[in-house]
Amino acid sequence: MTRSFRNPILYFSVALGVFVTCGTALYLYGSQSTFSKNVTIAGWRVGGMSYAAFQSESEQRLKRLAAFPVLLHTSYPEITAKELPLGQLGISYDKGPLTQSLQQLTNGSPFARAKARWTLRNANIPMNVSVDPTQLTTTIKNTWKELYTKQPIAAKRILQSQDQVAYEPEQNVLRIDTVHLQEQLQSIAPSMGTLTHTAPLGLSLPVYELSPSVTMATLKGQGIDGKISEFTTSFPPSGEGRVHNIRATATSIQDYLMAPGDTFDYSKIIAQTEAKFGYKEAPVILNGSLVPGIGGGICQVSTTLYNAVLRSGLEIVERRNHSLPVSYAPLGQDATFASGYINFKFRNNTTSYVWIRTITTDSKVTVKLFGHQTPTVTYDVDSNIVETIQPPIKYVNNPSLRPGLERPISIGKVGYKVETYRTKRENGTIVSRELISKDQYSPVPTVIAANRKDSQTENTTPNKPMVEDGVSTLAVQ
C-alpha cells in the first residue's frame, strides 16, 4: 500500500518540476531584449541586437535614408542635372509592419512574447517604400522652374496672299514625367541594410513633350482648306459713329469658328460687342423711320455676313429684311436686327468647320467664309421685285391753313414685294434652285398738311418701339 501511494506523488513532483523548468525557460526566452540571431529588417541583419539599440540605430538610418542623394539627369541640354535627397523627393518608409512586430516582442505576457519571439526567429521584416506624388511634383517644379515657366504655343491657322490657308505649327515644351519618376524612385530606393556607401544614386529622368490643346493636326482635322464665299458692302466714309459700330461688330466675328451642326446667333455677337467695345451714336430705324440712335450700322455687318452665307450654301435659320430698303444691299438680300424682335441665325450644315474672317476699311466691310472647298460647286443669288406698292397719302391737320388748302410735307416712297432665290450649280450645270425668302418693304406715305375734317395728327411715338439697325434710340435710352 505504501509503495502505490508514493508513486503518484513522485509523478506529480516530476511533472511539476518539468512544468516549472519549461515555464522558467519560456519566461527567460520571452523576456530577452534582443532579436533572434536570424532576424532581418529591411535588408538589415539585426540578430542579437537589443531592442533599445535597434530603436536608436534605426532612427539614424532612416534619417540617413531621407538625406541619401539621388543624381537626376537627362540627355536634354535644357534640363540640367540636379542632386536631390530622397526625402525631398517625397520618399518615405512605412514602419507599420516593423512597429507591429516590435510590439509583439515587447508587450504582453512573457509567454506571448516568447511565442512572438519564436514566430519571428527567422523573420525578414519589410519596410514598404512610398512616394508622395504631391511633394515629388512640387520639388520637381521648384527645382526646374525655368522649364515649367515655358508654356506650349498653340498652332495657328493663317491666311496667305490670295486667301490661301496655311498653318503655323505648335511649339511643344519639355516636361518631367513625375508618374514614371515615382515608379522609378520606388524601385531604386535603398533600404536600411544597403546603406554601405554615400555615392549618389544615378537616375535618368523620364521626359515627355507637352503639346498645346490646339495642334496643327487638330486644325487640319477641321477640314478648312480654302475660301468658300465672300461678300463686300460699302458705306460713306463720313459718320464716325457708324464706322465705329461696323468695325467693332466685324471685329467680334473675326476668327469665329463653327463646328459642323453649330448655329451662329447674331444677338450674342451684338451683346459681346456692346460689352467689349460699346456702341456709338449713329442713325437707326425706328418703326420704319430713320432717327438718331445708338449702334447704327450693325445691320450692315449682318447683311454682309448674310450674303456671304447665302453664297456658301449654308442653311439660313432665321433672317428678316429691313422695314425700309437699304442702300448697301439689293432688295431681298439684307438682314436686319432688332433686339428682342428680329435676329439673324444660320447653321453650319456641312461636314467641316467654317471659319469667319472680316476686313473693315473706312468705307467697306468684307466677310469671307472658309471651309472645305468644292470648286465644282457654286451658288448664285438673285432677287426679283414681284410687286410695287404705291405710297399712301397721309393728311395731318393744320388749323392755320385755309379750309381746302393743302401743303406737302414729305414725298412718299414706294414699297416692294421681293422674292429671292439661291441657285446651286455643279460644273456650271444647275442642280437646284430654292426660294430663300419672300420680303416686303413697306411704302413710306406721302404726308400732306391740310385743314380737313379727316386729317389726323401724326403720332411719332409708337406704343412698342422696335429699333432696327441699332441697339436703341436716343429717346428711349
What is the tens place of the pLDDT at every residue in 280-296?
Answer: 988 888 877 778 888 88
What's the pLDDT at 389?
96
What's the pLDDT at 13?
63
Q: Does residue 297 surpass a pLDDT of 50? A: yes
**Cβ–Cβ under 8 Å, residues 465 and 286:** yes
CA of 59: how far to CAs of 65, 94, 100, 192, in Å?
10, 13, 16, 10
CA of 142: how far to CAs of 84, 137, 147, in Å?
12, 9, 10
Q: Does residue 36 surpass a pLDDT of 50? A: yes
| Spatial separation of the C-alpha atoms in residues 198 and 99, rounded to whole Å | 27
Which residue in 371, 390, 391, 389 sits closest to 379, CA to CA? Answer: 371
Exposed e or buried b per residue across 70-95, where buried means at least 16 C-beta atoms within 10 angstroms of its C-beta: bebeeeeeebeeeebebbbbbbbbeb
- With cut-offs at 50, 70 and 90, classify the pLDDT of residue 461: very low
What's the pLDDT at 477?
42
| Spatial separation of the C-alpha atoms in residues 419 and 331, rounded to whole Å | 9
What's the pLDDT at 12?
64
Q: Does residue 459 surpass a pLDDT of 60? A: no
168-172, 343-347, 385-389, 396-400: segment of lowest average pLDDT: 396-400
25-34, 60-69, 386-395: segment of lowest average pLDDT: 25-34
Q: Does residue 193 surpass a pLDDT of 70? A: yes
Phi-psi region of 100 (alpha: psi -120 to 50; beta: other; left: phi over 0): alpha
191-200, 249-258, 372-381: segment of lowest average pLDDT: 191-200
- With cut-offs at 50, 70 and 90, classify the pLDDT of residue 471: confident
CB atoms within 10 A of CB 443: 18
What's the pLDDT at 452?
74
Which residue in 319, 293, 291, 323 sits closest to 306, CA to CA? Answer: 319
Q: Does residue 456 surpass a pLDDT of 70? A: no
Q: Does residue 253 surpass a pLDDT of 80? A: yes
What's the pLDDT at 384?
97
- With cut-offs at 50, 70 and 90, classify the pLDDT of residue 5: very low
**Cβ–Cβ under 8 Å, residues 295 and 282:** yes
- Please tell me which of 124-133, 170-179, 196-205 the model is most confident about, judged by mean pLDDT: 170-179
**Cβ–Cβ under 8 Å, residues 111 and 26:** yes
Element (H, E) at 93: strand 91-94
Q: Does residue 460 surpass a pLDDT of 60? A: no
10-14, 389-393, 454-458: segment of lowest average pLDDT: 454-458
What's the pLDDT at 454?
59
Which position has the grid cell 391740310?
450
Element (H, E) at 369: strand 364-371
Residues of the chain above pLDDT 70, percent: 90
Which residues pair with residue 240 across a beta bridge?
none
Q: Does residue 9 surpass a pLDDT of 80? A: no
What's the pLDDT at 10?
65
What's the pLDDT at 94?
80
Average pLDDT, rounded, for the chain: 88
| Spatial separation of the C-alpha atoms in residues 162 and 190, rounded to whole Å | 65
Element (H, E) at 60: helix 51-66
| Spatial separation of the C-alpha atoms in residues 198 and 148, rounded to whole Å | 31
What's the pLDDT at 476?
47
CA angle 449, 454, 455 (to 5 degrees): 25
Q: Does residue 19 surpass a pLDDT of 80? A: no
What number is the average pLDDT over the span 406-411?
88
What the block records as the C-alpha cell of 198 is: 554615400
Q: Give the HSE-up count for residue 92: Cα atoms under 13 Å, Cβ half-sphere.
A: 10
What number is the average pLDDT over the span 122-146?
91
Give this prediction's pTM: 0.74
Which residue in 145, 105, 139, 110 sits closest to 125, CA to CA? Answer: 105
What's the pLDDT at 227?
96
Strand, coil or helix: 319 = coil
